[in-house]
Structures are given as structure tokens and as C-alpha cells.
Amino acid sequence: MSNTIETIKEQITSNDILLYMKGTPRMPQCGFSAQAVQALMACGERFAFVNILENPDIRAELPKYANWPTFPQLWIKGELVGGCDIIVEMASNGELQSLVKEAAPSEE
């Protein structure tokens, strides 16, 4: 198995809330990533991210690994939640907030 896949698995297992995106939360490089970040930030919990523009190997391998062709990709507790449309829809009906709050490490 390639090192890139190992890296992806490590990122997904070591971060409860992980967004693979184009750019960074402060400087998204595409509209879909920007929408996903806004929806996640509105949940009020910290999340990890990987800028796939700076990681071409991950950009190439993740769609095959996840069986999901596009970015951004939101992973919570090791499960692929989905891309921008799913994230925004879940945010609008309250599902995203619940999922994120459950996954967020407690601050106690």
C-alpha cells in the first residue's frame, strides 16, 4: 500500500473532525470549500483540515480511497460524511451541528 494511503488513514483516524479542502479555513481556494468551512465553523467546534492543493499525492489518492470524486470531503470519527452539498444540507437541517458536537472532544 502506498505511503499516501497510510498518511490518509492516519489523518482520518487521528482527527475526529477532518476536512479535506482546497486552501485553508482562513483562505479557501474554491467556493465549495468556503461553503463547507462556513458550515463547519458555525458548529463552533475545532476541526482539522488538509489543504489538498499543497498535498498533490493526497489530492490524487483520496478520491480513490474514499470512493468520492470531489473536494471538499468531510470526515467525522473515521466516516466520510460527504462533500459540499451534503455538508450544507446537513447544516441547514441541524444534523451537522449534532454530528460535530458528538464528535468533538470534550473540553473538560
Are 36 and 84 spatial neighbours (Cβ–Cβ below 8 Å)? yes
* Residue 30 marked in a binding site: yes
Q: For residue 9, say whether it is annotated as part of any ligand binding site.
A: no
**Residue spans of beta strands (DSSP E) within the chain:** 17-21, 48-51, 73-76, 79-82
The answer to whether the annotation marks 43 as part of a ligand binding site is no
Any binding-site annotation on 84? Answer: yes
Q: How far is CA 18 from the centre of its chain?
A: 4
The residue among 54, 67, 43, 44 whose CA lies nearest residue 21 is 54
| Residue type, position 6, single letter | E
Query: Annotated binding residues, as ranges?
Result: 22, 30, 59, 71, 84-85
Query: Annotated binding residues for glutathione, as ranges?
Result: 22, 59, 71, 84-85
Query: Annotated binding residues for [2Fe-2S] cluster, as ranges?
Result: 30
